[in-house]
Amino acid sequence: MDFASVEKRIKGKKALVGIMGMGYVGLPLVRTFGHAGFATLGYDIDNEKIKLLNAGKSYIKHIPSTMVAELVKKHGFKATSDPKQLSKPDVLIICVPTPLSKMRDPDMSYVESTARTIASVLREGQLVVLESTTYPGTTTELVKPILEATGLKAGRDFYLAYSPEREDPGRTDFSTETIPKVVGANDPRSKALAVALYGHAISKVVPVDSCEIAEAAKIVENVYRCVNIAMVNELKMVFDKMGIDVWEVINAAKTKPFGFQAFYPGPGLGGHCIPIDPFYLTWKAREFGETTRFIELAGEINTAMPDYVINRLIHALNDHGKAVKGAKVLVLGLAYKKDVDDLRESPSIDLIEKLRELGAKVDYNDPHIPKTHKGREHDLGLTSVPLTAANLKKYDVALIATDHTAYDYDLIVKNSKLVVDSRNACGNVKAPAGRVVKA
């Protein structure tokens, strides 16, 4: 299929859009393109996900099953785990994980294997877009050579672009459709097709002059957040020594109408972006003989926060005449942020594992995560315990790790022997002296 034919299919919404990876990025994209009028094909290697999706069922909290059922019945959505089906879409969008290795180097195995899967069925006229967050140069240096090994050439026989995902699970003020979409490509035809595609589904498209610029833009967004969160985490520890409440400080500072944006401390970084993405740039910078001292320092501070919280909990227990070894601890909140069911890189997992290593008996409650599942690196083997007054009384300490809106903090404070609060969730709750310790 020649360029003009592909362009006509995209502009006429006749193109079949294939999305590879049916997770927190891929499934919202299915919804976005489906509602924009495109037929979509979802691809994933997890057969259980495929069965659920084709039955009109969701496994992600903020994507309801009613919406998946509507996509299947009214918008031509199908899901498959058969790579041979990937020759059918006019567009293939890659939404797969980009984690770090144990040595904190980029693990590109998911992107590489997905590119090889595409290469096995790649045909003329297809547009391939990488959305996974990664280091500048990935699309050109990793994905493009794999695809061109087929004998087809990017920009001539097939088209290649990069457009970073900007998902933020749990947000209600923005959605995939309303978050501006950065799109970059290294040849004019690929760029034109990618801009036309996303222009049908996203309210605003931001074209840039290369894949590398688009890749770097996403990294900058997350470096900005990582560094600023590290700053307030450090200030929290400093102000604690001074007897100053960092949350009150931030709330006072943010009343300035310019020159300040509020970031808040916590028990550590979580999610699929901020704990990981800045280190992609650190890794890539070494290739050019450069160091990223801000990023590395921010990483040190943020990864140390679970230890700080544990230390505060140990001292709080000690003040109540209790050792951490043998103590019964209830961790409140397993998700990495409030009101989501997303466990990726959650500091709560580190907190639970560190407490177990110290000899504590640990349970958790999370209204959004009824039980834990085996992940790439962790297998807690726990089930959420009911959050009742009677249950709270059984534990030596309740550790608030995630400040879910569903929690009744008055109930928690009233019925707990001790509360260690890493999110300032109990800031407005009246409590007996020494009952609530901020961490």
- Please indicate, yes or no, whether residues 152 and 198 belong to a single structural domain of this protein: yes
Q: Using 50, 70 and 90 to split pLDDT, how confident is the model at 269?
A: confident
Average pLDDT over residues 160-183: 89
* pLDDT tops 90 at residue 260: yes
- Can you give the pLDDT at residue 394? 97
CA proximity to 315, closest of 412, 425, 420? 420
- Please indicate, yes or no, whether residues 196 and 311 belong to a single structural domain of this protein: no
Q: What is the CATH number of the domain that holds 161?
A: 3.40.50.720
Other C-beta atoms within 10 Å of 287: how many? 9
- Please indicate, yes or no, whether residues 269 and 199 belong to a single structural domain of this protein: no
Token pair of 93 as six digits: 């969008």
Please state the domain count of the chain: 2
Q: Using 50, 70 and 90 to split pLDDT, how confident is the model at 435?
A: very high
What is the Cα–Cα distance from 377 to 297, expressed in whole angstroms? 24
For residue 250, is it within any domain?
yes
For residue 41, is it within any domain?
yes
Question: Among 148, 178, 211, where does a domain finish?
Answer: 211
- Please indicate, yes or no, whether residues 321 and 400 belong to a single structural domain of this protein: yes
Cβ distance 424 to 409 under 8 Å? no
Q: Using 50, 70 and 90 to split pLDDT, how confident is the model at 376?
A: low
- Can you give the pLDDT at residue 342? 87
Catalytic positions, please?
273
CA proximity to 432, closest of 417, 378, 353, 12? 417
- Please indicate, yes or no, whether residues 345 and 410 belong to a single structural domain of this protein: yes
What is the Cα–Cα distance from 144 to 206, expressed in whole angstroms? 22
- Please indicate, yes or no, whether residues 386 and 237 belong to a single structural domain of this protein: yes
Q: Is the pTM for the entire model greater than 0.85?
A: yes
At 290, the amino acid letter reads: E
Ordered DSSP codes for 364-413: EE-TT-SB----SS-----BPPP--HHHHTT-SEEEE-S--TT--HHHHH
Question: Among 177, 211, 245, where does a domain finish?
Answer: 211
* pLDDT tops 80 at residue 103: no
Report residue 355: phi and psi, to 5°. Answer: -65, -40
- Please indicate, yes or no, whether residues 58 and 190 belong to a single structural domain of this protein: yes
Contacts of 114 (CB under 8 A, 6+ apart): 20, 21, 94, 96
Compute the mean pLDDT over every residue in the chain, rounded to the nearest whole number: 94
- Please indicate, yes or no, whether residues 108 and 207 belong to a single structural domain of this protein: yes
Contacts of 144 (CB under 8 A, 6+ apart): 154, 160
What tens digit of pLDDT does each residue of 391-402 get?
999 999 999 999
Contacts of 178 (CB under 8 A, 6+ apart): 202, 203
Question: Among 211, 241, 272, where does a domain finish?
Answer: 211
User: Whole domain around residue 280: which residue ranges?
Assistant: 233-438
- Please indicate, yes or no, whether residues 304 and 355 belong to a single structural domain of this protein: yes
